[in-house]
């Protein structure tokens, strides 16, 4: 991966985290339903669609949990909703990505820290989409 590609990846992953868990799940559903989404085998795609639809219905209350798997999925999704969008492991992984792309450790750490200082206060102050729709 080139340094430019690593920076693009950093921006993309930060953006995904900022959009919130429910919006990410809806994005995955939309991408899986897209007619040109042929890189995933049909059987696997169908299984993912069914699972994500089921979780979405559980979260919006249109379906009540019936099985142990429903309750586990619902608890995991609610835990993800409550978690902060960024954790130390996320930032360490982004630093490692930048180093692997050819940046020095100091450059990578400085870039990640700059992004972190700009993004984390915004993430803490801005409610996610799912908080408005709940």
Q: Do 96 and 49 lie in a common domain?
A: no
Give CA 94 to chain center in angstroms: 14
Q: Which domain holds residue 60?
A: 21-84
Q: pTM, whole model, 2 decimals?
A: 0.73
Total domain count, the chain: 2
Give SS3 for 6. helix
Query: Are the C-beta atoms of 95 and 7 separated by less than 8 Å?
Result: no
Q: What is the pLDDT of residues 8-46, one digit of tens each?
A: 999 999 999 999 888 998 888 888 888 776 676 776 777
pLDDT of 115 > 90? The answer is yes
Largest Cα–Cα separation, the chain: 52
Q: Do 11 and 50 lie in a common domain?
A: no
pLDDT of residue 126: 58
pLDDT of residue 75: 93
């Amino acid at each position: 991966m080139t340094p430019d590609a690593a920076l693009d990846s950093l921006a993309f992953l930060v953006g995904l985290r900022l959009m919130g868990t429910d919006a990410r799940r809806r994005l995955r559903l939309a991408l899986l339903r897209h007619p040109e989404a042929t890189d995933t085998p049909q059987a696997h795609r169908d299984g993912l669609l069914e699972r994500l639809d089921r979780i979405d219905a559980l979260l919006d209350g249109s379906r009540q949990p019936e099985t142990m798997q429903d309750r586990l999925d619902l608890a995991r999704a609610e835990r993800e909703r409550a978690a902060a969008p960024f954790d130390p492991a996320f930032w360490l992984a982004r630093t490692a990505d930048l180093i692997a792309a050819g940046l020095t450790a100091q450059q990578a750490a400085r870039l990640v820290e700059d992004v972190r200082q700009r993004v984390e206060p915004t993430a803490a102050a801005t409610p996610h989409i799912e908080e408005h729709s709940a």
